[in-house]
Each structure stands twice: as structure tokens, then as C-alpha cells.
Amino acid sequence: MTGSAASTLQVRTDGSVGHVTLDRPRAINAVDHEMILGIGAALDAFEHDADVALVLLDGAGDRGFCAGGDVRSLREQVLAGDAVGAMTFFRDEYALNARIAEYPKPVVVFADGITMGGGIGLAGHAAVRVVTERSQLAMPEVRIGFTPDVGGSWLLSRAPGRVGEYLAVTGGTMDAADATYAGFADHLVPADRLGDLHHALITRADPHTPTEITLLFDETPEPSRLAAARPWIDDAFAGDTVPEIVERLRARPESAASETADLIESLSPTGVTVTLAAVRAARSLPDLRSALAQEYALVEWFATTQPDLVEGIRAQLVDKDRSPHWQPSTLADVPADAAASALAHVPSIPLWAA
């Protein structure tokens, strides 16, 4: 084994496997700008290394693969009026998300434990996406007055039925069965077999593809709770607007439906309104890069025009009082053109370099 290690990233070569481990276990491996750049540099090196046949991404510790991006720094940049700094981080992060999806060698990700937000950006677009019985996947951005990004809108827009809208507007968490059903994961491998799978990826010549090797350890997940909930999810989330969705949820007999209505009404009215429109718009986009470009514009719109993002991060992650003061405070007060305005926003800093 050869390699090098930074303080928050381990990069090494295990035989024919290029191996990158996110190494911030105390922060559940949340990624900052340095880590994004480091992963990108590792992928560059592995691509041009003839001895590397595939790349493995995983996370240190037993709590999770990656809890997301460093949104506290985002809040500080927004408060300081540093839009350029904030958008530079997202530009590099989204470029990495696209690179993983388009990488010429197979990328395998062990999304063990918590994998949310920015973690989905790393795991969700890989060639082989492995979850375990400990996995908890989510795009929870609406909980901080934001909207799913890192290509999350692309994945959500392609989930079965209205499941994507449900997950996006509620920030709901998926277990392994749900993640596989919704299209966020490919294989369930028990956590105590990940070491064996890693060893097999390094040593096995037959079968020779990472998918075939992973299938040797794959187990059938339990039935998805999302699949079982499709009748009320599909009915309610077919509503044209968030208020209509809430109304449909209230009319359903299932207790989970009314609880979902309560949750939606506690979230940022602007955030859920724009999120619903963004996921639906992503359905008509041709590829992941187009979805990332749409998300990038939405990020700047939220960061530069909406107070809810800063307030949501404060309430959930800084002061942790869980009592955000949304502006506007109700769905009825959201401007009728809010979603259209957000989706029409043109970012001041281009996402893709010429």
C-alpha cells in the first residue's frame, strides 16, 4: 500500500484501487473546501495512473460517510457579504459531483451510516453506490431554509412516482431499503462485510467488474417504507402547489399524511415552494450537469436575496434553538412569482469554466 494523508483526507493506493477516505469523524466527515479540492486532485492522479482500475470513496469512523457540506462557513460568508467566496466553494463542489458521475474509471462509494447533503453529492452519482443497514440518506436542505443541491434535484426528480417531491419538500431520511427504491443506492452490503468487499475489490480478478464483485456481498433489503406509502404520497404530492399538497395531506386518513402536513408548515415557506418547483423543473433537464447549473443559480438566489438560509443555519446548527423565524412566515405570504424568480436567476459567477 502506498499513499499520503492530509489532516481531513486520506489518499492512498490499495493494489489497483485508488482509495480516498474522508477523515473528519468528529464532524461525521462533513466536507469543506479543502477536502473538495483534495478529492478532485486525487481523482486527477488516479485517472492517469495506469495501475489504478477503480476508485473507492468511504468515510472514517462509524457514524457516517459524510454528513454534508460546511454550511456554517456558508453562513459566515453570506453575513460578511462574501458572495464570491461562497459561490467558489459551490462551483468546485458541483464540478466534483459532475466529475464523479463522468469519471472514466468506476467509482465505488461506501455510504455507510449518515450520508446527507454534500455526502449525497459524492455518493449519489458514483458508478457503484453501496449502503448498509446503518445507512441514513437524506437531502435535508429545506430544514435550513434552502433547497436540495449537489445534483440532489436530479436524483429526486427521477425517483418513482412523487417520492422525489416528498423527500425534497420534507427533507425526509431514507434507510437502505428506501435509498435503493428511490434510486439513491444500488446495493445493500452488511456493515461488517465492507472490509471483505474492500479486500475483494483489491484482490479478485474474477468476476472482474466492481458491480459483479459487489453482488457477491449484496443482500436483499427489507421492503421499502416509501414504496408502501406511495398511495398517499403520490396522491398528495400531485398537487400543483405546496398549499394544495398540504390540503391533500390533511384530507388523507393516514396519520403519516397529517404529520407530513404539520412538518411542511413548520419549514421555510420560501424554501419548500422553490424546492417543489426545482425538482419538477429538473425532470425536463437533459443531464446532471444541467441540474447542477440550475441548482447553482438557486444557491446564489437564496444566499443573496433570501434571509431564510442564514436564519435556518443559525437555528439548526449554530444556536441550535430549533426555532427559526422564517420570512415570510406562512405559505400564503410567499410571493406568487417566487419560484419563477428563483429559477430565472442568472448567477454572477459562471459554474463551468470556459
- pLDDT at residue 1, rounded to an integer: 46
What's the chain's Rg over C-alpha atoms?
20
Asked if residue 165 lies in contact with residue 229, where contact means CB atoms within 8 angstroms, the answer is no
Q: Which three cell numbers stand for residue 27?
A: 464532524
d(CA 82, CA 84): 5
- The single residue listed with the C-alpha cell 488516479 is 46
Asked if residue 172 lies in contact with residue 353, where contact means CB atoms within 8 angstroms, the answer is no
List of domains in the chain: 2-343 (3.90.226.10)
Q: Which three cell numbers stand for residue 103?
A: 469519471
Residue 80 has a CB neighbour count (10 Å cut-off) of: 10
Residue 30 has a CB neighbour count (10 Å cut-off) of: 23
For the chain, list residues with pLDDT below 70: 1-6, 353-354
Q: Who contacts 57 (Cβ-Cβ below 8 Å, separation ≥6)?
A: 20, 21, 22, 39, 65, 107, 108, 109, 110, 122, 123, 126
3-state secondary structure the chain: CEEEECCCEEEEEECCEEEEEECCHHHCCCECHHHHHHHHHHHHHHHCCCCCCEEEEEECCCCEEECCECHHHHHHHHHCCCHHHHHHHHHHHHHHHHHHHHCCCCEEEEECEEEECHHHHHHCCCCEEEECCCCEEECCHHHHCCCCCCCHHHHHHCCCCCHHHHHHHHCCEECHHHHHHHCCCCEECCHHHHHHHHHHHHHCCCCCCHHHHHHCCCECCCCCHHHHCHHHHHHHCCCCCHHHHHHHHHHCCCHHHHHHHHHHHHCCHHHHHHHHHHHHHHCCCCCHHHHHHHHHHHHHHHHHHCCHHHHHHHHHHHCCCCCCCCCCCCHHHCCCCHHHHHHCCCCCCCCCCC
Q: pLDDT digit string (tens) for 89-146?
A: 999 999 999 999 999 999 999 999 999 999 999 999 999 999 999 999 999 999 999 9
Residue positions annotated with a catalytic role:
69, 118, 141, 149
Asked if residue 258 lies in contact with residue 250, where contact means CB atoms within 8 angstroms, the answer is yes
- The single residue listed with the C-alpha cell 420534507 is 170
- pLDDT at residue 6, rounded to an integer: 59
- pLDDT at residue 2, rounded to an integer: 54
Asked if residue 105 lies in contact with residue 52, where contact means CB atoms within 8 angstroms, the answer is yes
d(CA 218, CA 211): 10
Identify any residues that bridge with 10 across adjacent strands, giving them in sequence order. Answer: 5, 21
Q: pLDDT digit string (tens) for 2-23?
A: 555 458 999 999 999 999 999 9
Q: Who contacts 196 (Cβ-Cβ below 8 Å, separation ≥6)?
A: 217
Q: Which three cell numbers stand for residue 212?
A: 459483479
Asked if residue 19 lies in contact with residue 56, where contact means CB atoms within 8 angstroms, the answer is yes
